[in-house]
Structure 1
Amino acid sequence: MLRSFLQILLRLLLLGTVTILIFLGLDISTSKRAIAAITRLESVPGEIIYRSQLKLEDKSGHIWQVILWKQIYTGHPSTVNLRLVGFPGSAELIHPQPLRITKATGEVLIAPDVFLDSAPAPTIGQYNFQDILPNLPVESLLLSIPLPGEKFINISVPPSVVKEWQTVLKD
Protein backbone atom coordinates (compact mmCIF):
# COMPACT_ATOMS: atom_id res chain seq x y z
CA MET A 1 0.00 0.00 0.00
CA LEU A 2 2.75 2.43 0.96
CA ARG A 3 4.71 1.39 -2.11
CA SER A 4 1.81 2.14 -4.51
CA PHE A 5 1.27 5.50 -2.78
CA LEU A 6 4.95 6.40 -3.30
CA GLN A 7 4.76 5.35 -6.98
CA ILE A 8 1.72 7.59 -7.53
CA LEU A 9 3.46 10.47 -5.75
CA LEU A 10 6.60 10.02 -7.85
CA ARG A 11 4.58 9.97 -11.09
CA LEU A 12 2.73 13.16 -10.07
CA LEU A 13 6.03 14.83 -9.21
CA LEU A 14 7.50 13.78 -12.56
CA LEU A 15 4.41 14.98 -14.42
CA GLY A 16 4.55 18.34 -12.60
CA THR A 17 8.26 18.76 -13.40
CA VAL A 18 7.73 17.98 -17.10
CA THR A 19 4.78 20.40 -17.24
CA ILE A 20 6.85 23.20 -15.68
CA LEU A 21 9.74 22.57 -18.09
CA ILE A 22 7.38 22.68 -21.07
CA PHE A 23 5.94 26.03 -19.96
CA LEU A 24 9.42 27.45 -19.32
CA GLY A 25 10.50 26.29 -22.78
CA LEU A 26 7.50 27.98 -24.37
CA ASP A 27 8.26 31.20 -22.53
CA ILE A 28 11.90 31.19 -23.63
CA SER A 29 11.02 30.65 -27.29
CA THR A 30 8.48 33.48 -27.36
CA SER A 31 10.78 35.97 -25.63
CA LYS A 32 13.07 36.03 -28.69
CA ARG A 33 10.47 37.91 -30.73
CA ALA A 34 11.13 41.53 -31.55
CA ILE A 35 8.26 43.74 -30.52
CA ALA A 36 8.23 47.29 -31.73
CA ALA A 37 5.73 50.00 -32.45
CA ILE A 38 5.74 52.97 -34.77
CA THR A 39 5.51 56.32 -33.07
CA ARG A 40 4.81 59.70 -34.62
CA LEU A 41 6.53 62.71 -33.04
CA GLU A 42 6.11 66.39 -33.80
CA SER A 43 8.76 68.10 -31.70
CA VAL A 44 8.75 71.45 -33.49
CA PRO A 45 6.29 72.92 -36.00
CA GLY A 46 7.05 71.68 -39.50
CA GLU A 47 9.04 68.63 -38.36
CA ILE A 48 7.49 65.16 -38.15
CA ILE A 49 9.34 62.01 -37.15
CA TYR A 50 8.05 58.47 -37.66
CA ARG A 51 10.07 56.03 -35.58
CA SER A 52 10.38 52.29 -35.01
CA GLN A 53 12.39 51.36 -31.91
CA LEU A 54 13.22 47.94 -30.50
CA LYS A 55 15.99 45.85 -28.94
CA LEU A 56 17.75 43.04 -30.80
CA GLU A 57 20.51 40.69 -29.72
CA ASP A 58 23.72 40.28 -31.72
CA LYS A 59 25.33 36.88 -32.36
CA SER A 60 27.52 37.34 -29.25
CA GLY A 61 24.51 37.88 -26.98
CA HIS A 62 24.87 41.66 -26.56
CA ILE A 63 21.70 43.76 -26.73
CA TRP A 64 21.39 46.62 -29.23
CA GLN A 65 18.73 49.29 -29.42
CA VAL A 66 17.68 49.52 -33.08
CA ILE A 67 15.94 52.74 -34.13
CA LEU A 68 14.77 53.44 -37.66
CA TRP A 69 13.19 56.81 -38.31
CA LYS A 70 11.97 58.99 -41.11
CA GLN A 71 12.30 62.71 -40.55
CA ILE A 72 10.16 65.13 -42.54
CA TYR A 73 10.74 68.89 -42.65
CA THR A 74 8.21 71.05 -44.44
CA GLY A 75 9.63 72.04 -47.81
CA HIS A 76 12.56 69.57 -47.67
CA PRO A 77 12.99 65.97 -48.79
CA SER A 78 12.56 63.40 -46.03
CA THR A 79 15.50 61.46 -44.56
CA VAL A 80 15.58 57.87 -43.31
CA ASN A 81 18.24 56.74 -40.82
CA LEU A 82 19.01 53.61 -38.81
CA ARG A 83 20.71 54.05 -35.45
CA LEU A 84 22.29 51.16 -33.56
CA VAL A 85 23.07 51.75 -29.90
CA GLY A 86 25.08 49.15 -28.01
CA PHE A 87 24.39 48.60 -24.34
CA PRO A 88 27.23 48.32 -21.80
CA GLY A 89 29.68 45.62 -22.81
CA SER A 90 29.18 46.16 -26.54
CA ALA A 91 32.15 46.78 -28.80
CA GLU A 92 33.32 50.27 -29.67
CA LEU A 93 32.49 51.17 -33.27
CA ILE A 94 34.83 52.83 -35.72
CA HIS A 95 33.73 55.71 -37.95
CA PRO A 96 33.20 56.25 -40.78
CA GLN A 97 32.44 52.65 -41.73
CA PRO A 98 29.40 51.56 -43.75
CA LEU A 99 26.84 49.08 -42.46
CA ARG A 100 26.43 45.84 -44.44
CA ILE A 101 22.89 44.55 -44.87
CA THR A 102 22.69 40.97 -46.13
CA LYS A 103 19.41 39.77 -47.62
CA ALA A 104 18.24 36.14 -47.40
CA THR A 105 19.37 35.72 -51.03
CA GLY A 106 22.95 36.63 -50.04
CA GLU A 107 22.84 40.02 -51.77
CA VAL A 108 24.68 42.66 -49.75
CA LEU A 109 23.56 46.29 -49.56
CA ILE A 110 25.74 49.04 -48.11
CA ALA A 111 24.40 51.88 -45.93
CA PRO A 112 26.74 54.86 -45.52
CA ASP A 113 27.85 55.90 -42.03
CA VAL A 114 26.33 59.25 -41.02
CA PHE A 115 29.03 59.94 -38.41
CA LEU A 116 32.02 61.06 -40.46
CA ASP A 117 34.46 61.53 -37.60
CA SER A 118 33.00 60.44 -34.28
CA ALA A 119 29.71 59.43 -32.70
CA PRO A 120 28.04 60.81 -29.55
CA ALA A 121 29.23 57.64 -27.77
CA PRO A 122 31.64 54.88 -28.83
CA THR A 123 28.88 52.23 -29.05
CA ILE A 124 26.60 54.22 -31.40
CA GLY A 125 26.38 53.85 -35.16
CA GLN A 126 24.03 55.72 -37.47
CA TYR A 127 23.47 54.89 -41.12
CA ASN A 128 21.68 56.51 -44.05
CA PHE A 129 18.81 54.16 -45.02
CA GLN A 130 17.17 56.53 -47.55
CA ASP A 131 18.16 54.43 -50.57
CA ILE A 132 18.38 51.08 -48.73
CA LEU A 133 14.91 50.74 -47.20
CA PRO A 134 12.91 50.83 -50.48
CA ASN A 135 15.06 47.90 -51.71
CA LEU A 136 14.51 45.65 -48.69
CA PRO A 137 12.09 42.77 -49.14
CA VAL A 138 10.11 41.64 -46.10
CA GLU A 139 12.45 38.81 -45.11
CA SER A 140 15.12 38.12 -42.51
CA LEU A 141 18.15 40.37 -42.75
CA LEU A 142 21.61 40.38 -41.23
CA LEU A 143 23.09 43.72 -40.17
CA SER A 144 26.89 43.65 -40.00
CA ILE A 145 28.64 46.45 -38.13
CA PRO A 146 32.34 46.61 -39.04
CA LEU A 147 35.01 46.40 -36.35
CA PRO A 148 38.79 46.71 -36.67
CA GLY A 149 40.56 43.72 -38.21
CA GLU A 150 37.86 42.54 -40.65
CA LYS A 151 35.55 41.54 -37.78
CA PHE A 152 31.82 42.30 -37.62
CA ILE A 153 29.03 42.53 -35.09
CA ASN A 154 26.13 40.62 -36.64
CA ILE A 155 22.51 41.35 -35.74
CA SER A 156 19.63 39.30 -37.18
CA VAL A 157 16.52 41.27 -38.07
CA PRO A 158 13.27 39.28 -38.30
CA PRO A 159 10.82 39.85 -41.19
CA SER A 160 8.25 41.44 -38.84
CA VAL A 161 10.69 44.27 -38.10
CA VAL A 162 11.47 44.80 -41.80
CA LYS A 163 7.73 44.99 -42.45
CA GLU A 164 7.40 47.64 -39.74
CA TRP A 165 10.29 49.59 -41.26
CA GLN A 166 8.48 49.54 -44.61
CA THR A 167 5.45 51.01 -42.85
CA VAL A 168 7.63 53.85 -41.49
CA LEU A 169 8.74 54.57 -45.04
CA LYS A 170 5.13 54.79 -46.27
CA ASP A 171 3.92 57.12 -43.49
Structure 2
Amino acid sequence: MAPLGTPETRGIADVAPWPDWAAAADGSLAFLHEQLGWDLWAVTRIEGDVQVVLHAFPHGAVPPGAALTWDESFCKQMVEGAGPRVATVTAAIPAYARCATGLAADVAAYLGVPLVGRDGELFGTLCALAYRAQPLSAARGLATVEFVARTLSTLLAGTAAHV
Protein backbone atom coordinates (compact mmCIF):
# COMPACT_ATOMS: atom_id res chain seq x y z
CA MET A 1 0.00 0.00 0.00
CA ALA A 2 1.28 3.48 -0.90
CA PRO A 3 2.05 5.94 1.93
CA LEU A 4 -0.48 8.71 2.56
CA GLY A 5 0.11 11.84 0.50
CA THR A 6 1.57 10.07 -2.53
CA PRO A 7 -0.10 10.45 -5.92
CA GLU A 8 -1.63 7.00 -5.54
CA THR A 9 -3.57 8.08 -2.43
CA ARG A 10 -4.77 11.56 -3.39
CA GLY A 11 -8.14 10.34 -4.52
CA ILE A 12 -9.94 12.45 -7.06
CA ALA A 13 -9.87 15.97 -5.60
CA ASP A 14 -6.94 17.08 -7.78
CA VAL A 15 -8.88 16.30 -10.97
CA ALA A 16 -12.37 17.42 -9.92
CA PRO A 17 -14.11 19.85 -12.30
CA TRP A 18 -13.49 23.54 -11.84
CA PRO A 19 -16.53 25.33 -10.41
CA ASP A 20 -16.94 27.59 -13.45
CA TRP A 21 -15.44 28.76 -16.73
CA ALA A 22 -13.38 31.52 -15.07
CA ALA A 23 -11.68 29.00 -12.78
CA ALA A 24 -11.02 26.72 -15.78
CA ALA A 25 -9.43 29.65 -17.62
CA ASP A 26 -7.23 30.49 -14.62
CA GLY A 27 -6.23 26.85 -14.21
CA SER A 28 -5.44 26.57 -17.91
CA LEU A 29 -3.15 29.61 -17.81
CA ALA A 30 -1.28 28.29 -14.78
CA PHE A 31 -0.90 24.89 -16.48
CA LEU A 32 0.41 26.41 -19.72
CA HIS A 33 2.86 28.62 -17.84
CA GLU A 34 4.17 25.63 -15.90
CA GLN A 35 4.41 23.36 -18.94
CA LEU A 36 5.56 25.76 -21.67
CA GLY A 37 7.04 28.77 -19.96
CA TRP A 38 6.61 32.18 -21.65
CA ASP A 39 6.45 35.36 -19.57
CA LEU A 40 2.73 36.10 -19.70
CA TRP A 41 -0.36 34.04 -20.52
CA ALA A 42 -3.78 35.60 -21.03
CA VAL A 43 -7.37 34.84 -21.92
CA THR A 44 -8.93 37.79 -23.68
CA ARG A 45 -12.32 38.79 -25.00
CA ILE A 46 -13.03 40.92 -28.04
CA GLU A 47 -15.58 43.65 -27.29
CA GLY A 48 -16.16 45.78 -30.37
CA ASP A 49 -12.85 47.37 -31.28
CA VAL A 50 -11.18 46.51 -27.97
CA GLN A 51 -9.41 43.39 -26.72
CA VAL A 52 -9.99 43.00 -22.98
CA VAL A 53 -7.89 40.82 -20.66
CA LEU A 54 -10.20 38.54 -18.65
CA HIS A 55 -7.52 36.40 -16.97
CA ALA A 56 -3.72 36.57 -16.88
CA PHE A 57 -0.90 34.52 -15.42
CA PRO A 58 1.25 35.21 -13.50
CA HIS A 59 -1.42 36.91 -11.44
CA GLY A 60 -0.91 40.63 -11.18
CA ALA A 61 1.18 40.88 -14.37
CA VAL A 62 -1.77 42.41 -16.22
CA PRO A 63 -4.91 43.39 -14.32
CA PRO A 64 -8.24 41.94 -15.44
CA GLY A 65 -10.03 44.53 -17.53
CA ALA A 66 -6.86 45.91 -19.12
CA ALA A 67 -7.66 46.75 -22.73
CA LEU A 68 -5.83 47.11 -26.02
CA THR A 69 -7.15 48.43 -29.29
CA TRP A 70 -8.08 45.35 -31.34
CA ASP A 71 -6.67 46.81 -34.55
CA GLU A 72 -3.23 47.18 -32.93
CA SER A 73 -3.05 43.71 -31.39
CA PHE A 74 -0.95 40.69 -32.29
CA CYS A 75 -4.09 38.60 -31.79
CA LYS A 76 -6.02 40.37 -34.55
CA GLN A 77 -3.15 39.73 -36.95
CA MET A 78 -3.17 36.05 -35.95
CA VAL A 79 -6.96 35.66 -36.23
CA GLU A 80 -6.99 37.27 -39.67
CA GLY A 81 -4.08 35.10 -40.88
CA ALA A 82 -1.63 37.97 -41.35
CA GLY A 83 0.68 36.36 -38.79
CA PRO A 84 1.23 32.79 -37.59
CA ARG A 85 -0.05 31.39 -34.30
CA VAL A 86 3.57 31.18 -33.07
CA ALA A 87 6.18 33.83 -33.72
CA THR A 88 9.36 33.08 -31.82
CA VAL A 89 10.72 36.43 -33.07
CA THR A 90 7.92 38.96 -33.61
CA ALA A 91 10.24 41.40 -35.39
CA ALA A 92 10.67 38.84 -38.19
CA ILE A 93 6.92 38.86 -38.98
CA PRO A 94 5.90 42.13 -40.72
CA ALA A 95 2.33 42.08 -39.33
CA TYR A 96 3.65 41.63 -35.78
CA ALA A 97 6.51 44.11 -36.19
CA ARG A 98 3.89 46.79 -36.97
CA CYS A 99 2.10 45.99 -33.70
CA ALA A 100 5.17 46.37 -31.48
CA THR A 101 4.27 49.81 -30.12
CA GLY A 102 2.73 51.10 -26.92
CA LEU A 103 1.97 48.27 -24.49
CA ALA A 104 3.39 45.74 -26.96
CA ALA A 105 6.69 47.56 -27.54
CA ASP A 106 8.73 45.06 -25.48
CA VAL A 107 7.12 41.90 -26.87
CA ALA A 108 9.73 39.78 -28.65
CA ALA A 109 7.74 36.54 -29.11
CA TYR A 110 4.01 35.77 -29.43
CA LEU A 111 1.78 32.71 -29.35
CA GLY A 112 -1.97 32.93 -29.78
CA VAL A 113 -5.01 30.80 -30.58
CA PRO A 114 -8.63 31.97 -31.08
CA LEU A 115 -11.34 31.16 -28.57
CA VAL A 116 -14.67 30.43 -30.24
CA GLY A 117 -18.06 31.03 -28.66
CA ARG A 118 -21.37 29.21 -28.71
CA ASP A 119 -22.41 30.15 -32.26
CA GLY A 120 -18.97 29.77 -33.82
CA GLU A 121 -18.17 33.46 -33.42
CA LEU A 122 -14.81 34.77 -32.23
CA PHE A 123 -14.99 35.21 -28.46
CA GLY A 124 -11.37 36.18 -27.82
CA THR A 125 -7.96 34.58 -27.61
CA LEU A 126 -5.68 32.44 -25.51
CA CYS A 127 -2.25 33.97 -25.91
CA ALA A 128 1.28 34.14 -24.54
CA LEU A 129 3.96 36.80 -24.73
CA ALA A 130 7.69 36.72 -24.11
CA TYR A 131 9.98 39.68 -23.70
CA ARG A 132 12.91 37.83 -25.28
CA ALA A 133 12.93 35.92 -28.54
CA GLN A 134 12.10 32.24 -28.02
CA PRO A 135 13.90 29.26 -29.52
CA LEU A 136 12.30 27.65 -32.58
CA SER A 137 11.54 24.64 -30.37
CA ALA A 138 8.94 26.79 -28.53
CA ALA A 139 6.64 26.16 -31.50
CA ARG A 140 6.30 22.55 -30.32
CA GLY A 141 3.95 23.77 -27.60
CA LEU A 142 1.38 25.03 -30.10
CA ALA A 143 -0.55 21.74 -30.20
CA THR A 144 -0.94 21.87 -26.41
CA VAL A 145 -2.19 25.47 -26.55
CA GLU A 146 -4.61 24.63 -29.37
CA PHE A 147 -5.96 21.72 -27.30
CA VAL A 148 -6.44 23.94 -24.24
CA ALA A 149 -8.08 26.65 -26.39
CA ARG A 150 -10.47 24.12 -27.89
CA THR A 151 -11.33 22.83 -24.42
CA LEU A 152 -12.00 26.37 -23.17
CA SER A 153 -14.09 27.07 -26.29
CA THR A 154 -16.08 23.89 -25.65
CA LEU A 155 -16.71 24.93 -22.04
CA LEU A 156 -17.58 28.44 -23.19
CA ALA A 157 -20.10 27.10 -25.71
CA GLY A 158 -21.75 25.08 -22.95
CA THR A 159 -21.78 27.88 -20.40
CA ALA A 160 -25.20 29.41 -19.91
CA ALA A 161 -23.98 32.18 -17.61
CA HIS A 162 -22.12 35.26 -18.83
CA VAL A 163 -18.34 34.83 -18.54
Does the pair score TM above 0.5? no
Relative to its length, the structure with more helix (as a share) is 2
What interval of TM-score do these two structures reach, taking the shorter chain for normalisation?
0.3 to 0.5
Relative to its length, the structure with more strand (as a share) is 1
